[in-house]
Every structure is written in structure tokens, then in C-alpha cells.
Chain A
């Protein structure tokens, strides 16, 4: 158990819909990272938050947004969903701001867009 909790584990939704994925980091970790994993693209970095503030952005679509709340949990919002958004979405947490210590990954949310 990594200590990072992601909900829900599975999500099936229709195209055009909006979903929210939730992540609770390990106790004490201030950094939260979101990754998208698909078969053809591997693990793609989406966005990082540190202590409530956005720190880095990857190839995150404009239809996607995220935030980190005062209690440090984070939510990834995906809107106007397309079939190609079907993937595993991982949240990871770390004690450092610059990702120079190990990252702890949650179990992931498998999103299926139909």
C-alpha cells in the first residue's frame, strides 16, 4: 500500500460528459502529480501541484483541469470527454517540490469513455 488513495477505481461514462477523479496523497506529502497512462503513449505527465499551487504542466488538454485543496487532496476534472480520453489516470505524491525523491503512486482510476 503506497498510502496514496484514488477514487473511483473504475469509471465508465459517455462521450461529452464530465468526470472528476480524486486523489488523497500520502500523509505529509505536499506534492501531487497526475499522470495519464495509455497503451500507445506510456505514462504522460499532466500536471503537478505543490501545497495548493500549480507547479508544472505537461501535455494537459484544455478540457482537463485540476486543483489541490487546503487539505492537500487533489481533483482532476475531465470535461467534454472523447473516446481517446479512455486511459488509466494515476496520481502520485512526493515529499519534495522538485520530484527529486521517490514518488508514490495510487492504484489509478481506469476511465472508459463509450
Chain B
């Protein structure tokens, strides 16, 4: 089936360093959603991007949707230990009823 590819699979940073995860699709996306799953927890919605070239910010988190709507990124500035978890992108919408998740990027932060 049509997948969204996420890289990297793992990322370990020192507290205070920046972090970026990328999500790529071979087909044009209707929209992209980002979720965070803390260790032992459940996925929690962060944001949805719909428009080509869209950029949204939530405090230290910056989300981008590519101009061609085939890729997206999540950037965290000055990571904190509370940022630890797996970040998933997921494609949805259009004629697609389901939410298809990427494999996720596991972020660990060394205090």
C-alpha cells in the first residue's frame, strides 16, 4: 500500500540540541498529521498540515509541509527531556478513510 517513509528511525541528542524528523511520500498528500507517543503511552495528536508550503509553530516545535505536498518535517529547537518519545507522521484525508502512519522516529534526550 502507499506508505509514508520517516527518517531517521532513531535519534539521540543532548538536552539543548535541536532535532528534526522527516516524512516523505511518493504521492501527493491531501494532508499530513503528526503525533507523539511517549514511552508506554498512546499516540497524541500534535498538528495537521493541509496547505502546500504550510509552516506551523507550537512553542519549540516547527512543522512544515512541502511545496509539492510530498514531504513534511518536524523540528524541535533546544530539546528537553520532556520531548522524549516517538514522533509519527500520518497521512489522511482525500478519498482515503484511514490514517496511515509512518514507522516513527524515536527521540531520546540525554540530560
Task: Judge whether A99 and B101 touch: CB under 8 Å.
Answer: no
Asked whether any CB of chain A lies closer than 8 Å to the CB of B52, the reply is no
Which one, B42, B43, B92, B101, contacts A100 given CB within 8 A?
B92
Within B83-110, which residues are at the interface with A (CB < 8 Å)? Answer: 88, 92-104
Given A43-B101, A90-B43, A102 and B48 touching (CB < 8 A)? Answer: yes
Query: How distant is B6 from chain A, measured CB to nearest CB, in Å?
Result: 9
Which one, A2, A43, A97, contacts B97 given CB within 8 A?
A97
Task: Judge whether B97 and A48 touch: CB under 8 Å.
Answer: yes
Residues of B contacting A: mostly = strand
Query: How distant is A28 from chain B, measured CB to nearest CB, in Å?
Result: 16
Residues in chain A near residue B43, CB distance under 8 A: 43, 90, 92, 103, 105
Task: Judge whether A98 and B100 touch: CB under 8 Å.
Answer: no
The distance in angstroms between the C-alpha atoms of A97 and B42, with both chains bound, is: 22
Task: Judge whether B99 and A45 touch: CB under 8 Å.
Answer: yes
Asked whether any CB of chain A lies closer than 8 Å to the CB of B78, the reply is no
Which residues of B are at the interface with A, using a C-beta cutoff of 8 A? Answer: 30-31, 33, 41-45, 48, 88, 92-104
